[in-house]
Amino acid sequence: MIAPDATQVSPMHRERVETVVALLLARGARSVCDLGCGSGALIERLMVEAQFEALIGVEQSLVALERLRSRLAQEAATGRVQLIHGSFAEADRRLAGLDAAVLMETLEHVEPDRLSQVERAVFGFAKPGLVVITTPNVESNALLGLAPGRRRHPDHRFEWPRARFAAWADGVGLRNGYEVVWGEIGWSHPRFGAPTQMACFTRAPLAAAERPSAGNLFPARAAGVMTHRHGA
């Protein structure tokens, strides 16, 4: 698995980062793991917010990780940031029990036959309170100027339509005791949807007063939000 280069800060990427950060802030997360952190755009953005007391980045590319480690040496020395060379498809006790885990545009870099392994490692072993996953919506590729059948990145192993992603997320929630809320990030076309789709998995059942609504789960910047909820 090769994480995308997080230094390529396109407007679409920036919107994803800001949406995920806003969600983590709203949900009160203090310990967060970025699974497939790449060059560290999300971690560096999370470092700006004092709420996040412990940040962990997991990356399989040693080159990307060493570059990030050199930039974050000062924060790493304080113990606030920990960088791990490894795969998020493998169980790691250092990732167990965190408030939140994020897979931002990394799931699609996994071979489809290894998704069950990712599920076991993240949802079955690490069991964070909150899991946020973003992935491309293949239906919107035509609006980005891509030819039919062409993927957004040469390392993408798949790109799913919204119904396929929602069905997968529901299955993960059912098998692992998570409630799932699904939505989109970015401007949404009435037929093809938004470029990015996002699923938010919450492990423990929430009281009705604390249960997130579509409006407060996905910030206002995520125009054209659609939701799909499964109760664990």
pLDDT at 229: 55
In a domain, 91, yes or no: yes
What distance in Å separates the CA atoms of residue 158 and residue 155, rounded to the nearest whole number? 9
Q: Note the pTM of the prediction, 2 decimals.
A: 0.84
- Does residue 84 form part of some domain? yes
Could you give the CA distance from residue 124 to residue 118 in angstroms, rounded to a whole number? 9
Res 215 pLDDT > 60: no
Is 132's pLDDT higher than 80? yes
What is the mean predicted confidence (pLDDT) over 116-123?
Answer: 97
Q: Quick one: average pLDDT of 167-178?
A: 96
Least confident residue range of 1-5, 28-32, 199-203? 1-5
Region 120-146: what's the mean pLDDT? 89
DSSP bridge partners of 100: 32, 130
Residue with more model confidence, 58 or 12: 58
pLDDT of residue 6: 39
User: What range does the domain containing 39 cover?
Assistant: 11-230
Would you call 68 helix, strand, or coil by DSSP?
Answer: helix
Integer CA distances (angstroms), 110 to 118, 142, 145, in order: 9, 23, 24
144 occurs within a structural domain: yes
Q: Is the pLDDT of residue 165 over 90?
A: yes
How many domains does the structure of the chain reveal?
Answer: 1
| Exposure letters 28-46 (e unless 16+ CB within 10 A, then b) | ebebbbbbbbbbbbbbbbb
Least confident stretch, 95-104, 152-161, 191-200: 152-161
For residues 134-142, average pLDDT:
84
Concatenate the DSSP letters of all residues of 6-63 into one string. TT---HHHHHHHHHHHHHHHHTT--EEEEET-TT-HHHHHHTT-TT--EEEEEES-HH
Confidence of residue 205 (pLDDT cuts 50, 70, 90): low
Q: Which pLDDT band, with edges at 50, 70 and 90, does 144 fall under?
A: confident
CATH of the domain at 37: 3.40.50.150
1 assigned to some structural domain = no
Written as six digits, the tokens of 165 are 């992603």
What the block records as the tokens of 27 is: 């949900």
- For residue 104, is pLDDT > 70? yes
Query: And the tokens for 156?
Result: 């993408």
Does residue 135 lie within any of the structural domains?
A: yes
Residue of higher predicted confidence among 90 and 3: 90
Q: Is residue 29 part of a domain?
A: yes
Over residues 53-79, the pLDDT tens digits come to 999 999 999 999 999 999 998 888 899
Tell whether 60 is covered by a domain.
yes
227-to-11, 23, 162, 179, 181 alpha-carbon distances in Å: 23, 15, 11, 13, 6
Q: Is residue 6 one of the residues assigned to a domain?
A: no
Residues of the chain with pLDDT > 70, as a percent, come to: 81
Q: What is the mean pLDDT of residues 93-112?
A: 93
Mean pLDDT for the chain overall: 84
Tell me the average pLDDT across 47-52. 97
What's the CA gap between 127 and 160, in Å, rounded?
25
